[in-house]
Amino acid sequence: MTVRVLLADDQALVRAGFRVLIDSAPDLHVVGEAANGHDAVRLARETMADVVLMDVRMPGMDGLAATREITGDVAMSGVRVLVLTTFEIDEYVFAALRAGASGFLGKGVEAGELQEAIRVVARGEALLSPSATRRLITRFLAGPGVSAQYVPEDLAVLTEREREVMTLVACGRTNDEIADQLGISRVTAKTHVNRAMTKLKAHDRAQLVIIAYETGLVRPQAR
């Protein structure tokens, strides 16, 4: 199965470079390019790409607003957003994850890493770079003046097992690792993850991680 990718970056040379890297993989294919957020949303809707590689800083509608539009549209529920950033630990990346992005990558990423990241996000099985995500959350969520979108009471809809599974998701565990640790099947682990996402209205696993930290289910730790 070919993963269909949409590129959203205001720099034509950057888009051209990523297109070459992506199209060089037999199972990946670029289906469109956008130079701003408005075009990214429009093309995501028209092409129904599996993954949007989204730059945050673009003229007009930026990548953050475009991410919100895409992840908030039920008609595009199958479209995943992978944020591209110059600096991995970035407040805009944190905001993009809260808006529904599935993960993030630095623009200096190697070809193999980029291709595999796209595959991972397309599968929706694991959060990219969990250690960097935890550092990101630690820096911004634990900082002064940051208001949480979720509160502990939001977790009341979950069963004890779903909370346990959500905690492991927040620690960067895959479904296979969760299954091994809890002594359950991979299918059961995936079912628990999906139920937690549905109950909490989370777009994907990345949002489960954000909710886990904001509600205090998992505590950020300063390095």
- 180 and 74, same domain (yes or no): no
Q: Which of 86, 106, 124 is the last residue of a domain?
A: 124
221 within domain boundaries: no
- 108 and 199, same domain (yes or no): no
- 33 and 76, same domain (yes or no): yes
136 within domain boundaries: no
Q: Which of 76, 107, 124 is the last residue of a domain?
A: 124
Q: Which of 107, 124, 141 is the last residue of a domain?
A: 124
Mean pLDDT of 35-50: 96
Q: Quick one: pLDDT band at residue 125, thresholds 50, 70, 90?
A: low
72 within domain boundaries: yes
pLDDT greater than 60 at residue 146: no
Q: Angle at the Cα of 117 (from 114 to 122), degrees rounded to 5?
A: 130
Indicate the range of 16-25, 63-72, 96-105 predicted with least confidence.
Answer: 96-105
pLDDT greater than 70 at residue 204: yes
- 109 and 186, same domain (yes or no): no
Q: Quick one: pLDDT band at residue 222, thresholds 50, 70, 90?
A: very low
The residue segments making up the domain with residue 21 are: 3-124
Burial 109-123 (b: 16+ CB within 10 A, else e): beeeebbebbbbbbe
- Could you give the CA distance from residue 60 to residue 71 in angstroms, rounded to a whole number? 19
- 103 and 42, same domain (yes or no): yes
- 118 and 25, same domain (yes or no): yes
pTM for the structure as a whole: 0.78
Which SS3 state, helix, strand or coil, does residue 121 take? helix
Q: What's 207's domain CATH number?
A: 1.10.10.10
Residue 148 main-chain phi, psi, to 5 deg = -80, 145
Q: Quick one: pLDDT band at residue 219, thresholds 50, 70, 90?
A: confident
138 within domain boundaries: no
pLDDT greater than 90 at residue 136: no
8 within domain boundaries: yes
222 within domain boundaries: no
- 99 and 169, same domain (yes or no): no
Instruction: Classify residue 13 as exposed, middle or buried by CB count within 10 Å of its CB (0-12, 13-18, 19+).
Output: exposed
- 103 and 157, same domain (yes or no): no
- Could you give the CA distance from residue 179 to residue 92 in angstroms, rounded to a whole number? 33
Tell me the per-residue pLDDT of 179-199, one tens digit each, with 9 for 90 and over.
999 999 999 999 999 999 999
223 within domain boundaries: no
Q: What's 81's domain CATH number?
A: 3.40.50.2300
167 within domain boundaries: yes
How many domains, in total, are found in the chain? 2
Residue 11 token pair: 């720099």
Q: Tell me, what's the pLDDT at 94?
A: 77
- 104 and 47, same domain (yes or no): yes
Asked if 30 and 23 touch (Cβ cutoff 8 Å), the reply is yes
- 108 and 170, same domain (yes or no): no
What percentage of residues in the chain have a pLDDT greater than 70? 85
Mean pLDDT of 146-163: 85
| Residue 126: DSSP 8-state | S
Q: Where are the beta strands (DSSP E) in the chain?
A: 3-8, 28-34, 51-55, 80-85, 103-106
Number of C-beta neighbours around residue 196 at 10 A? 24
Q: Tell me, what's the pLDDT at 145?
A: 53
- 104 and 171, same domain (yes or no): no
Instruction: Find how far residue 169's CA is from the centre of its chain.
Output: 13
